[in-house]
Amino acid sequence: MSEHPTSESRIERELEKLIGSQGRGRLPARERRSAIVDLAWTDGRAEVEVLADHFGVTASTIRRDLALLTSQGKLARTFGGAMAHAPVGETSLGQRSHEAFRQKHAIAGWAAEQIGTDETVILDAGTTTAHLARALRHRDRLTVVTIGLTVVTELADADGVEVLCLGGRLRHISHGLVGPLAEAALERVSADRVFLGADGITVDDGICEANLEQTRLKELMMARAAQVYVLADGTKLGQRPFHAWARMPASWTLVTDEGAEPAEVQRFRSAGVDVIVVDDRSRPVD
């Protein structure tokens, strides 16, 4: 007989650590799901029948738990169970520029219409803000503050737009500037509006990004602007691809497209977020 512990015996030991004397059958759903995630990371894989037996619930309950945890990006489903979600690699700006192109164009078109003469706006790095910068090329008496090289490129020949490029360390993968130099420069400017991108956006935790440098900078940008807009195509809503978060202010606007799940849109609206859903079919691509 093998001396190595079986998957079930490992789960038994981990459950004792996670649950203690509380009792598995009486464990609240939120705590049960948290324990499932911990078990998956500890054991590498969690099977429906094994989890149902050890938590004292039905297999259907466990399947619902796994479906929810998968939708939140905490686990990856497998045949008969789930496994710990491997970290998702950040995609390059070039890769993202081809994703949801029409939707980003429509979102940026709506955003451009909100910007008036003699305003100062902050534009984040990213593909959607690059679309927005392109829509502003023919404006006059406008100041754009940015950390995005794509924004600078789009506005390089826009004589009526004053461009202030913040300093910092270049993130090659996103063509964005980050770090203490960018943060110090932000403290010396203010803006009428800020337009931010996001790798993911949730009601509970805010903007999700690949690292804490990005999320800290987003929080600083939001603090320096009178009005905050997050430009996120429908695929970003409710997503948690990474583990760095920027908390949102009390008042802000989410701009998305008709591809967003209605239930996700309603969650944001129920939380008091102003949600704008644009129709990408009504805005022709240049």
pLDDT at residue 21, rounded to an integer: 45
The answer to whether 136 touches 115, Cβ cutoff 8 Å, is yes
Angle between helix 48-55 and 59-71 (nearest 10): 110
**Which residue type occupies 59?**
A
The answer to whether 115 touches 133, Cβ cutoff 8 Å, is no
pLDDT at residue 209, rounded to an integer: 93
User: Does 282 or 206 have the greater pLDDT score?
Assistant: 206
Local structure of 73: helix, strand or coil = coil
Q: Return the CATH architecture of domain 93-282.
A: 3-Layer(aba) Sandwich (3.40)
Local structure of 199: helix, strand or coil = coil
Range scoring the smallest mean pLDDT among 61-70, 206-215, 225-234, 272-281: 61-70
Range scoring the smallest mean pLDDT among 77-91, 96-110, 151-165, 203-217: 77-91
pLDDT in tens, 220-234: 999 999 999 999 999
CATH topology of domain 7-84: Arc Repressor Mutant, subunit A (1.10.10)
pLDDT at residue 42, rounded to an integer: 56
Q: What is the mean pLDDT of residues 215-223?
A: 97
Residue 19 has pLDDT above 80, yes or no: no
Residue 83 has pLDDT above 50, yes or no: yes
Residue 74 has pLDDT above 80, yes or no: no
Q: How far, in Å, CA of 28 to CA of 32, rounded?
A: 6
Range scoring the smallest mean pLDDT among 76-80, 82-86, 140-144: 82-86
pLDDT at residue 72, rounded to an integer: 76
pLDDT at residue 2, rounded to an integer: 38
Residue 254 has pLDDT above 50, yes or no: yes
Q: What is the mean pLDDT of residues 82-95?
A: 65
The answer to whether 131 touches 104, Cβ cutoff 8 Å, is yes
Q: Where are the domains of the chain?
A: 7-84, 93-282
Residue 80 has pLDDT above 80, yes or no: no
pLDDT band at 69 (very low <50, low <70, confident <90, very high): confident
pLDDT in tens, 33-67: 888 877 776 555 678 888 888 888 999 999 998 88
The answer to whether 170 touches 149, Cβ cutoff 8 Å, is yes
Residue 144 has pLDDT above 70, yes or no: yes
> Given the structure tokens 């202030």, which residue do they identify?
164
User: Does 17 or 106 have the greater pLDDT score?
Assistant: 106
